[in-house]
Amino acid sequence: MTHSSSNSTNSTGGFSNTDGSDSTGGSSNTDGSNSTGTTGGTARNAWDELPIRDELRGQSPYGAPQLDVPVRLNTNENPYPLPEALVDRIAERVREAARDLNRYPDRDAVELRTELARYLTRTAGHEVGLANVWAANGSNEVLQQLLQTFGGPGRTAIGFEPSYSMHALISRGTGTGWISGPRKDDFTIDVAAARAAIAEHRPDVVFITSPNNPTGTAVDAGTVLALYEAAQAAGPSMVVVDEAYGEFSHHPSLLPLIGGRRNLVLSRTMSKAFGAAGLRLGYLAADPAVVDAVQLVRLPYHLSSVTQATALAALEHTDTLLGYVGRLKDERDRIVAELRALGFDVTDSDANFVQFGRFADSHTAWQQILDRGVLVRDNGVPGWLRVSAGTPAENDAFLAAVRELKKEHDA
């Protein structure tokens, strides 16, 4: 059985899932309720009175709840502040850059791309160089540039849902038609069904998210190659592997797969492993032809001098920052083990977050955890919630909250 436009799952762990609806893992509203990006066809937004594009009518912006609570574990941020030595180095680099702010930044970000290539070569098991790497303002801008280049009006993209909802939202924003592909009940990709969907719809862009958000599941190299082959037979199509959480995985990076495959792209971010969500720096690795192609749509001087300087400073402290990643991986594995010991269903996780359930009403469970001072994420996957791995103290608070919740439910 697979997930696509509908989802029906059995329940275990003492919590019964009575909701048979499905979700693309869409954005949550500020009150904590979930949205797949629409208003359900009833409520109207103020902007609907404007002459906006038809496909944007009735939609809702992406965003997670921002609530003032003691423990916030809902946006997959790295909980560790940057070390003082790095903060000092950022200040030095930015001070140097500030002397030339009357001039435009390096349009091609040569130094930054060179250092990103060195980082990937050292940590991801495949040699890449300047010509293979492109950078932008967060991985979302990277994905937007890819869709502007290879998608657009009259073209389509496919993703396997539930997955990162921005894939569908950026597709819509670029005028690219969106196709929701299938997953199995364990949230892994159904390879046979996915290949069939690609053959049927002949999409121009195929998204594969590994580790997947919000489920945390990793995708093996064999699955990526099977879908890549299907996409080339049906297209040829661009295949984008979104590895935003790649550094947290138990498995090697999928970067080596780009070798000899011109239509395969791997995207990354500095928001998670580097603890630099406020920096907004994403990047891709691909054949040089892809890097050249996305520059057809990039805005002039899109990466500021300050952004480039800050990212370069962070790359100088890679070993320290990856040490924090190791701590978070240990904490994630502890959360998985303790939730399972309590009787919850937990999806195998290769990210810095954990999907757990199952609940008869996930929004009610979300509120009950919030009432205990801990904010987690209701992504709209029926019966499931997602918690980000935090500091040991934050994770202790979360586990204490769900123990109380489980005890009340079982009473």
Chain position carrying tokens 């991985």 = 139
CA 287 centroid distance within chain: 22
Average pLDDT score over the chain: 90
pLDDT given for residue 169 in this prediction: 94
pLDDT given for residue 187 in this prediction: 96
> What DSSP line would sit under 297-342, residue for residue?
TPPTT-S-HHHHHHHHHHHTTHHHHHHHHHHHHHHHHHHHHHHHHT
Burial of 51 (0-12, 13-18, 19+ CB in 10 A): exposed
Percent of the chain with pLDDT over 70: 89
pLDDT given for residue 60 in this prediction: 80
pLDDT given for residue 16 in this prediction: 34
pLDDT tens for each residue of 92-104: 999 999 999 999 9
Listed in sequence order, the residues at least 6 apart from 209 whose beta carbon sits closer than 8 Å to its beta carbon are: 159, 160, 163, 164, 167, 219, 241, 242, 244
- The strand pair at 205-209 and 238-242 is best described as parallel
Which candidate, 352, 366, 360, places its Cα nearest to that of 383? 360
Q: What is the mean pLDDT of residues 105-112?
A: 98
3-state secondary structure 85-97: HHHHHHHHHHHHH
pLDDT tens for each residue of 291-323: 999 999 999 999 999 999 999 999 999 999 999
pLDDT given for residue 37 in this prediction: 38
What is the C-alpha separation between 131 and 252, in angstroms, rounded? 23
Give the lowest-confidence range in 36-50, 143-157, 225-239.
Answer: 36-50
pLDDT given for residue 43 in this prediction: 58
pLDDT tens for each residue of 197-227: 999 999 999 999 999 999 999 999 999 999 9
318-341 vs 305-315: helix crossing angle, rounded to 10: 80
Q: Does residue 345 sit in helix, strand or coil?
A: strand
pLDDT tens for each residue of 33-89: 343 333 334 457 888 889 998 888 888 887 776 899 999 999 999 999 999 999 999
pLDDT tens for each residue of 353-408: 999 999 999 999 999 999 999 999 998 899 999 999 999 999 999 999 999 999 88
Give the lowest-confidence range in 6-15, 170-179, 279-288.
Answer: 6-15
